[in-house]
Structure 1
Amino acid sequence: MTFKALPIALAAAITLAGPAAAQSADTMRDRVGTWITLGTSGGPVTNPGRSQPANLLRFAGKDYLVDVGDGAAGQISKVDVQSKMIDGVFVSHLHFDHTGGLAAILGLRFQTSASDPLTIYGPPGTREMVEGLLASMVPGATANYGVAGAPPADHRAGIEVVELRDGDSITVDGMRVQVASNTHYSFPPQSELAQRFQSLSYRFDLPGRSIVYTGDTGPSDAVETLAMDADLLVAEMMDIPLTIERMRMANPGMPEPILKQMQTHLSDHHLSASDVGALASRSRVGAVAVTHFSGWAAADARHAEYLRQIAEAYDGPFVIADDMDAF
């Protein structure tokens, strides 16, 4: 079996030279954007080699976070982006491994006197979450830098929340963004919880490229439709039996009913390597970057089984991404 490696550096595909080439490269980059996997760990168990789920989409001079797990503020600094430079945040769902870093982004933004507006897009419940985070900032924002006589500053200024639901389509700075509700939640369709909450997958259509981010999901017809003919699929993937075992080890005192609930969630609400290959094949995507990875590390011989399972269903280029990879 031969495995294809996905080209990582956008610049490697640009073979021009000289000043005109630099301008052409910038134009190309503006058209296709750059997707950086800031954090590629599958939560909620933390991983010393991978940060929590977060991504940075750079397009036409703008910087957007797509999910914002713990550590995202530090990760963006590795590509010379500070919290005050973030132009927008897209949240896929409200699990803490995907939202834990948002408090830091908001707080550091306040501390650096960010003046540009920040819009946070997300599923139902996002407004309530953001309001709670802003409320938690009141003591720190009131004390601020502890200088007597300093004028008060409004830590809520410029923060806007836009909640999205299944089927919504919006335009953000010339980029079309479509969302689909996926199968990471499986509340009964007519229940109160199903009305209150959704887990979203995103499609970003840039002038020169389309990128689909699954977020967390199980197999989903809606995600397949959303991803149809996309240039890049950024897909979650978990070794579910191994993840369950790691959950047992990390939480030896977890009550049995909660453990069973977690087992059901992991088994039904996430993608295996075979699922990723099938999704990519049926959606006819151009390439796949696997993230939200929970499995054997690349140095372990058992890691090759994931590659085999993906390649068995999908014959395009793919890679299991690491933190700070760029596509």
Structure 2
Amino acid sequence: MRPLRTFACRVLPLLLLTAAGTPAAAQEPAPDRKGLGTWITLGTNAGPVVVPERSQPANLLRFAGKDYLVDVGDGAAGRMEQAGVQSRAVDAIFLSHLHFDHTGGLAAVLGLRFQTSARDPLTIYGPPGTRELVEGLLASMVPGVTANYGVEGAPPVDHRAGITVRELRDGDRIEVDGMTVTVARNTHYSFPEGSAMAQRFQSLSLRFDLPGRAIVYTGDTGPSARLEELAKGADLMVAEMMDIPLTIARLIAANPGIPEGQLQAMQTHLAHHHLSPADLGALAARADVGGLVVTHFSGWDPRSPEHFAYLTTLSAAYPGPFEIADDMDAY
């Protein structure tokens, strides 16, 4: 077990299961110790600007011999292979919201499921709109499925077999394979309360209550009272965090011709719909979570001196142990 990269020698007293410098694929599958489960950060980069060292947001929850994806950003299938999990073996998928950086890898997972002749049931849980998303992806597969391997007379294969979608809304609580999953709408969208768009779309945070501990995943959100209530007393919170001014500057640099109206909408979105280090520290402190893992990270690289400011800000607001995760870290 290696020490965690935390400020002021705070060591996160959780299950960090990947040895330093050792690829996760070389590790034996981690045991589920006393119902704690294992949370693996498959992808930790905030979209939409891609970087070579981090994949888009995706996570793997391993519990009681089953494997669940929690968000499926671009690159998730490759990271799953590193974790020793085949796409065909995924037992369920949870989506926090429908932005592309959190769903871009879903087409690949569904395609690999077809290519490997998966027959086990797969339920995809997500917010309103998930059914429409999945139906669209399955429709996009029809040409490839119809041609298949290009062999005349080969029997047709139903690529939709076993796939079901269950849409969730704020306040829903469901039982899945011995764990309780509770969802709460957060503030990643700010459509007016009661409006058609607020009814049509929700961004959700998820709480997974296992026999041995509770894990809360924020997805993307701004400061949120509903999320604080959902996270109360959780053993672990896995949360997004962004250096918002730096992220805006990088997006402008990557899109120098962005129209003014689109630029203003993007700046409003980033400023109000995401968590800064100060926001996240305050949220984790008020929720009194046992430990904090930062993912969906957009900011200065840990090798940069500016990175130290994130650690000092989090430390000043949140008294518990924390870490800014890399891809393939396990807890």
TM-score range, shorter chain: over 0.9
For residues 64-97 of structure 1, the C-alpha deviation after alignment (integer angstroms, 9 at most, x for no partner) is 0000000100100001111001000000000000
Per the TM alignment, residue 28 of structure 1 is displaced from its structure 2 partner at its CA by 1.4
Quote the residue 2:259 is aligned against: 255
Per the TM alignment, residue 10 of structure 1 is displaced from its structure 2 partner at its CA by 4.5
**Counterpart AA for 1:4:** R
Quote the residue 1:236 is aligned against: 240
Instruction: Describe how 1:27-66 pairs up with structure 2 within 5 A.
Output: 28=33, 31-66=35-70
Per the TM alignment, residue 315 of structure 1 is displaced from its structure 2 partner at its CA by 1.0
Partner Cα separation in structure 1 for residue 16 and residue 79 of structure 2: 20
Quote the residue 1:17 is aligned against: none
**Counterpart AA for 1:129:** L
Per the TM alignment, residue 4 of structure 1 is displaced from its structure 2 partner at its CA by 1.0
Quote the residue 1:19 is aligned against: none
Partner Cα separation in structure 2 for residue 295 and residue 175 of structure 1: 34
Partner Cα separation in structure 2 for residue 72 and residue 176 of structure 1: 24
**Counterpart AA for 1:28:** R
Per the TM alignment, residue 163 of structure 1 is displaced from its structure 2 partner at its CA by 0.1
Instruction: Describe how 1:190-209 pairs up with structure 2 within 5 A.
Output: 190-209=194-213
Quote the residue 1:274 is aligned against: 278
1:173 corresponds to which of 171, 177, 181: 177
Quote the residue 1:18 is aligned against: none
Partner Cα separation in structure 1 for residue 17 and residue 254 of structure 2: 41
**Counterpart AA for 1:5:** V
Partner Cα separation in structure 1 for residue 17 and residue 83 of structure 2: 15
Query: Does residue 1:5 correspond to 2:11, yes or no?
Result: yes
**Does the 8 A contact of 1:34 with 1:326 survive in 2?**
yes
- TM-score scaled by length of structure 2: 0.93
- TM-score scaled by length of structure 1: 0.94
For residues 190-226 of structure 1, the C-alpha deviation after alignment (integer angstroms, 9 at most, x for no partner) is 2110010000000000000100000000000000000
SS of 1:262's equivalent in the other structure is helix
**Does the 8 A contact of 1:8 with 1:326 survive in 2?**
no
For residues 119-140 of structure 1, the C-alpha deviation after alignment (integer angstroms, 9 at most, x for no partner) is 0000000000000000000000
SS of 1:120's equivalent in the other structure is strand
Partner Cα separation in structure 2 for residue 5 and residue 46 of structure 1: 29
Query: Does residue 1:164 correspond to 2:165, yes or no?
Result: no
Per the TM alignment, residue 2 of structure 1 is displaced from its structure 2 partner at its CA by 2.0
2:187 corresponds to which of 170, 183, 188: 183
- Aligned CA-pair RMSD: 1.4
1:223 corresponds to which of 223, 227, 231: 227
Partner Cα separation in structure 2 for residue 174 and residue 73 of structure 1: 25
SS of 2:238's equivalent in the other structure is strand
Partner Cα separation in structure 2 for residue 100 and residue 116 of structure 1: 23
Partner Cα separation in structure 2 for residue 125 and residue 155 of structure 1: 21
Per the TM alignment, residue 5 of structure 1 is displaced from its structure 2 partner at its CA by 3.1
Per the TM alignment, residue 8 of structure 1 is displaced from its structure 2 partner at its CA by 6.1
SS of 1:2's equivalent in the other structure is helix
Partner Cα separation in structure 2 for residue 4 and residue 43 of structure 1: 28
Quote the residue 2:250 is aligned against: 246
Per the TM alignment, residue 147 of structure 1 is displaced from its structure 2 partner at its CA by 1.3
Query: Does residue 1:284 correspond to 2:291, yes or no?
Result: no
2:327 corresponds to which of 319, 323, 327: 323
**Does the 8 A contact of 2:17 with 2:330 survive in 1?**
no
Per the TM alignment, residue 153 of structure 1 is displaced from its structure 2 partner at its CA by 0.2
| Distance change (3 Å), C-alpha of 1:276 and 1:300 | same
Partner Cα separation in structure 2 for residue 74 and residue 221 of structure 1: 35
Segment of structure 1 superposing worse, 237-246 or 142-151: 142-151
Q: Flag structure 2 segments of 5+ consecutive residues without an equivalent.
A: 1-6, 19-27
**Counterpart AA for 2:106:** L
**Does the 8 A contact of 1:3 with 1:311 survive in 2?**
no
Partner Cα separation in structure 2 for residue 315 and residue 190 of structure 1: 37
**Does the 8 A contact of 2:57 with 2:71 survive in 1?**
yes
**Counterpart AA for 2:295:** T
For residues 274-323 of structure 1, the C-alpha deviation after alignment (integer angstroms, 9 at most, x for no partner) is 11111111011000000000000000011010000001011110000000
What is the aligned length? 315
For residues 166-204 of structure 1, the C-alpha deviation after alignment (integer angstroms, 9 at most, x for no partner) is 000000000100000000000011211001000000000
**Does the 8 A contact of 1:37 with 1:324 survive in 2?**
yes
| Distance change (3 Å), C-alpha of 1:11 and 1:298 | closer
Partner Cα separation in structure 2 for residue 88 and residue 161 of structure 1: 10
